[in-house]
Amino acid sequence: MRFDVVTIFPEMFSAISAWGVTGRAFDQGLASIKTWNPRDFTSDTRRTVDDRAYGGGPGMVMMAKPLEDTLDAVAKDQGTQKGPVILLSPQGERFNQKMASELLDLEAVTLICGRYEAIDQRLVERRVDREISLGDFVVSGGEIPAMAVMDAVIRIIPGALGDAESAAQDSFMDGLLDCYHYTRPENYENLLVPDVLLGGHHAKIADYRRKQSLELTLKRRPDLIDRAREQGLLSSADEAYLVTLQNKTGF
Ligand code: 9D3
């Protein structure tokens, strides 16, 4: 799949193209990225992409015209490989794993990264299909959110993860928080690895981990328990364990 990223800071995207799972996916041709700098689509000597807000107020607004000219160039370069234009924005719909898997089905995605206070709303109305937010916190621009979205999509492209990593992915997909993990040594500063994990009894280990996941999820993210239940992801053994937790701890 193809990502076209509109950004005044294209160099930031080496963070995703040069390293780890995403870097390998680009090297293998499973995904490609092209950055487009709106400054390259200006005609004044200062390469201006922002201006003061009508109505006043602090902060600058990204001008519609350089962005629209950039998007025209992207569309031309994409040819028949078309896809939605997505703006990373604090006002967007909250990103989640389901959205990542929906984006996976697309041939091409254009991501616009805002800087300054905002983007001229007329550009949004004319050219943006969808707005995505990472959550209720403020970062300095859309680049890091865009990279988070790309990473979430790229790592679920078939073949992007190695076998060991894929298996790990599956256990998150059952809608609960992951269980705790331990590696050598068995005794670290007098803290021991739970006995059951050392025994090699695979069914007991699976049962222990499942119970831990349920307990942690109930404690930290009860909303995920409700959702897993609605999606039919909880067995009667899971439900029984949740009842014992409720009685034990008064959740
Ligand atoms: C005072 C109004 N601010 C909006 C909350 C202004 C503002 C702050 C930061 C406007 C843009 C930004 C830059 N942030 C993003 O572009 C962004 C973002 C974010 O800040 N949080 C979570 N998700 C995202 S997606 C894009």
Q: Which two tokens stand for residue 49?
A: 């992409």
Q: Looking at the 3D structure of the chain, how many domains does it have?
A: 2
Question: How high is the pLDDT of residue 164?
Answer: 81
Residues 6+ apart with CB under 8 A from 56: none
Altogether, the residues listed in the chain come to a count of 251
The whole-angstrom separation of Cα 211 and Cα 237 is 10
Of 27, 77, 117, 186, the catalytic one is 117
Per-residue pLDDT of the chain (251 residues; tens, 9 = 90+): 999 999 999 999 999 999 999 999 999 999 999 999 999 999 999 999 999 999 999 999 999 999 999 999 999 999 999 999 999 999 999 999 999 999 999 999 999 999 999 999 999 999 999 999 999 999 999 999 999 999 999 999 999 999 888 866 665 678 999 999 999 999 999 999 999 999 999 999 999 999 999 999 999 999 999 999 999 999 999 999 999 999 997 76
How close is the Cα of 89 to the center of ligand 1, in Å? 6
* Domain match, 10 and 72 both: yes
Q: Which of 62, 89, 121 to mutate to test the pocket of ligand 1 (most atoms within 8 A of CB)?
A: 89
Whether 117 sits among the annotated catalytic residues: the reply is yes
- Which ligand 1 atom lies nearest to the CA of residue 146? 25
CB 108 within 8 A of CB 1: yes
Give tens-digit pLDDT for 126-168.
999 999 999 999 999 999 999 999 999 999 999 999 988 886 6
CB 103 within 8 A of CB 55: no
pTM, to two decimals: 0.96
Cis preceding-peptide flag for 185 (omega within 30 of 0): yes
**How crowded is residue 145: how many other Cβ atoms within 10 Å of its Cβ?**
22
CB 157 within 8 A of CB 28: no
Domain membership of residue 160 (yes or no) is: no
Domain membership of residue 7 (yes or no) is: yes
Buried b (16+ CB within 10 A) or exposed e, 44-74: eeeeebbeeeeeeeeeebbbbebbbbbbebb
Of 125, 170, 189, 223, the catalytic one is 170
Range of the domain at 236: 169-249
Domain membership of residue 95 (yes or no) is: yes
* Domain match, 95 and 182 both: no
* Domain match, 65 and 122 both: yes
* Domain match, 24 and 103 both: yes
